[in-house]
A and B are shown apart, each in its own frame.
Chain A
Amino acid sequence: MRIYYAGDIHGSEKCWRKFLNAAEFYDADLLVLGGDLTGKALVPFVRRGDGSWAAHVLGRDEVVREEEALAELEKRVRFNGFYPYRCDEEEYARLAADPGHREAIIREVMRQELARWVEIADAKLAGSDVRCLVMPGNDDEFDIDSILDSAKRLENPDGRVVRVGPYQFLSSAWANPTPWDSPRELPEDELEAKLEGIATALEPDMPAIFNLHCPPYDSGLDLAPQLTEDLRVVTTGGEQVLVPAGSTAVRRVVERHQPLLGLHGHIHESRHAATIGRTLCVNPGSAYSQGVVDGVLVELNGDRVIRHQFVQG
């Protein structure tokens, strides 16, 4: 079986479309997207009194007048994983002043965009035999789950064990605490209990693959820039100071169950492969903001990983 795994596309529509094409491109039997689907920012396109639209895109202030130019600019915004949002000046002022309203709009736009992604997926994968596992990550709000569940051609494996051919997939979107207090975070002991709870559904004699968004602590797959309390990157001599930011709970669960393979994401900077006991763990990293999907191809035969290859699609 050939698996194509990627993660952390964070709202980039270009990456999503590429991911859906990956099975055909790499001749993969299974597609797995390991979490963090949704974008991080809303880019308002404000309708001015003269009929033009103003927005701040990729560090530059832009003004467009024609619908075609507006659509092109919105496409660029989506390309980089942001959400374009058309509004008038009054609505923009409310967004700026009212955090509650802003949060509600961001979540609404996020839901709409994800629903559109699901439609794209159902259309693209219609008629294909390839299974496609897509789960949320720690950054994704809970209200996207129902949208994923509504898809015809996508399966959300989060929080359960799913059988795929001769293998069983244990999946979890949750992570250990981060400085950003994202939606799906748990203290290490609770995370371990949660993962062990899912693991009770594992069949003992079937090779297992752990699809855990968060990588194991101190595995080389989890090196992230050290941050100060106000979220500044710590550097010395111009170099970022990198520290392990993975989960000790994930590590303990992997060490205890020794699955065939661990598929991880979460730490974009830490593309790496490492073995923990008998388990090969991989994190392909992420370059979503450039419209590039960092992925990994893993070839399995029985209870062996034959080979793996990192790819930048």
Chain B
Amino acid sequence: MGEVASQPSVQTFERKATGLVRSAGTWDVLVYNMNFVSIGLMAVLVFLFSTAFYPGANLYVMVLLTFAAVVPTSLVFAFFAAAMPRSGADYVYVSRTLHPALGMMSSWNNTAWWFMYGGVPSAFFAYYGVAPFFSVVGERTSTHWMVRFGNWCNTPLGAFVVGTSLIVVLVVVFIVGLHFFFRIQNLLFVLGMISVALIVITWLVQGSGSFAHNFTAHTGQAFGPALDKAASKASYGESGPFSLKWTFLAGTWVYINLVFNQSSAYIGGEVRRASRLQLWSMPAAAVVTTSILLILLALADKVVGLHTFGKIAAATGLPFTAVAAQGVSSTVLAAFILILFVPFSYTWLPGQILNASRNFLAYSLDGLAPRKLSEVHPRFHTPIYSLVLVGAGSVGALWLFTHWSAFAALVGIFGFILGFAIVSVAAIAFPYRLPDVFESSPVRWRLGGIPVMSILGAVNLVALGFMAWAFWTDPSAGIEGKLSTKILNFAIFGSGLVIYFAAKAIQRMRGVDVAQRFKEIPVE
């Protein structure tokens, strides 16, 4: 209806009223999303798996293809965050646009997988944070108890104990002092980035000969035929001619991190003008983290060679931080690289615990979960029962992850994709189902008369289709060939509907109509 003004903007005048605050800092929202993407874990997984087990994969092309697949998802969430600037993300978007039952289905799917993934990063804390530091520094300083402890952390029992300790500490911290955690979170982010920066600087100045010499000296792993033999024994995917299929499949390890660049949709609703911030902060987080990954890949290529890196990863199982640390002559530098990386080894975990507990609180307030879960501690004002429940679920998932090979790191991403698909359908329908909200939103753009949001939803469905195929097909993803994990993904996806209708029946007996929760009151 309107046209773009060519004259200077007309000002809006505000009166003095409560709630008129300045928007959240762009840096804060960016950091939040980057923390969820987790640059460190993304690099660990790419160097450990994508380099090693995907013959013919071009890792640079892989990163760019995965980035392209992620962008539509992040834009769909960003558009929704701008149009419905409320916390809760898909629970609100889908419930209001399609149906509360589908909103619960989508949201519960995420909550359940956050439960599960509480186990994965807490195990990563043991495998890629604590163990490498103690093992490498212990070996290089001949401190045997450190070596023994590092090795123990890599056992199922060790990872379970260390990971459980982290979960317990975080849950207690979240119960008694969320502010304290947030204060140190930025510091931990900086420490992790210093570790990555040390690796970047090291690889920038280091030659391949120096790396190979140091690495062999410290690990005893020779290069050349010896490495080839060891890698081959560990199922290294021999490099061959370029393969688009394996290139795409190798991207599953990037996607598992990068697709969570939309996490600020869950928290960013309360602040005025945050909606516009969301529109660019989500893709920006993807751009920044992808760029850092590309820089790391290019430098590793220069110093080690990506094929050689893949062989090292397959033969030794060392994360890239440990590979970089063992490639330097200075033990102090190696120790700094590894100890500073520890906060990056579990960065998914705090957000998962918080988001899942927030969702339980919301379900409880909406009558979809026991009322106890929305009770807050009288002194600390935190949802203590929700947090304890999520903590207990995470410990259970950690045991599964450390003791059951079928429950691999990528198992649940297929489930997340199913949830994202519902949000995409909601995005397609949103301009037509809620035209007033759409027309009053800052994203009411059209292309050829079709709402851009609907187009994005459709494009995202295609992108999600590709990624669903990748996770279904990828032999490392934990789904391919495993009926139990396939069933688990669909069972969790469908369980939200079961919970919704069960809660609805229980509440109806109490005289409460749960379906009323999101029903819109007529205007006229």
Chain A residues at the B interface, C-beta cutoff of 8 Å: 10, 14, 17-19, 21-22, 25-26, 36, 40-46, 48, 54-64, 69, 72-73, 76, 79-80, 82, 92, 95-96, 102-103, 106, 138-139, 178, 180-182, 218, 220, 223, 225, 227, 230-233, 235-241, 244, 266, 268-269, 271-274, 287, 289-293, 297, 299, 306-307, 309-313
Chain B residues at the A interface, C-beta cutoff of 8 Å: 1-7, 9-25, 28-33, 35, 84-86, 96, 179, 181-183, 185-186, 189, 264, 267, 270-271, 273, 276, 365-367, 374, 376, 381, 436-437, 439-442, 510-513, 516-524
CA distance A59 to B516 in the complex (A): 33
Contacting pair A237 B186 (CB below 8 A): yes
Contacting pair A17 B511 (CB below 8 A): no
Closest to A20 in B: B521
CA distance A309 to B519 in the complex (A): 13
Closest to B92 in A: A312
- Chain A residues positioned under 8 Å from B436 (CB to CB): 14, 79, 291
Contact partner of A18 (CB less than 8 A), chosen from B13, B512, B521, is B521
CA distance A177 to B519 in the complex (A): 36
CA distance A181 to B182 in the complex (A): 30
Contacting pair B13 A42 (CB below 8 A): yes
Query: Knowing A54-B5, A240-B267 touch, does A311 contact B10 (C-beta < 8 A)?
Result: no
CA distance A266 to B19 in the complex (A): 9
Closest CB of chain A to B246's CB: distance in Å?
35
- Chain A residues positioned under 8 Å from B13 (CB to CB): 41-42, 44, 95, 102, 106
CA distance A26 to B519 in the complex (A): 10
Closest to A16 in B: B523
CA distance A231 to B30 in the complex (A): 21
Closest CB of chain A to B349's CB: distance in Å?
13
CA distance A299 to B273 in the complex (A): 37
- Across the A-B interface, the 3 shortest Cβ-Cβ residue pairs: A238-B32, A237-B185, A313-B521
- Chain A residues positioned under 8 Å from B264 (CB to CB): 238
Taking each of A48, A92, A237, which has the highest tally of chain B beta carbons within 10 Å of its own beta carbon? A237
Contacting pair B21 A41 (CB below 8 A): no
Query: Knowing A61-B9, A106-B13 touch, does A233 contact B24 (C-beta < 8 A)?
Result: yes
- Chain A residues positioned under 8 Å from B513 (CB to CB): 309
- Contacts across chains A and B counted by CB atoms under 8 Å: 212
Contacting pair A63 B2 (CB below 8 A): yes
Contacting pair B519 A311 (CB below 8 A): yes
Closest to B100 in A: A312
Query: Knowing A239-B182, A240-B24, A293-B521 touch, does A56 contact B9 (C-beta < 8 A)?
Result: yes
Closest to B275 in A: A59
Contact partner of B441 (CB less than 8 A), chosen from A58, A293, A299, A311, is A58
Query: Knowing A182-B17, A237-B189, A291-B436 touch, does A56 contact B12 (C-beta < 8 A)?
Result: yes
Contacting pair A235 B25 (CB below 8 A): yes
Closest CB of chain A to B30's CB: distance in Å?
8
Closest to A220 in B: B376
Contacting pair B12 A54 (CB below 8 A): no
Contacting pair A41 B32 (CB below 8 A): no
- Chain A residues positioned under 8 Å from B376 (CB to CB): 220, 272, 274
CA distance A36 to B15 in the complex (A): 13
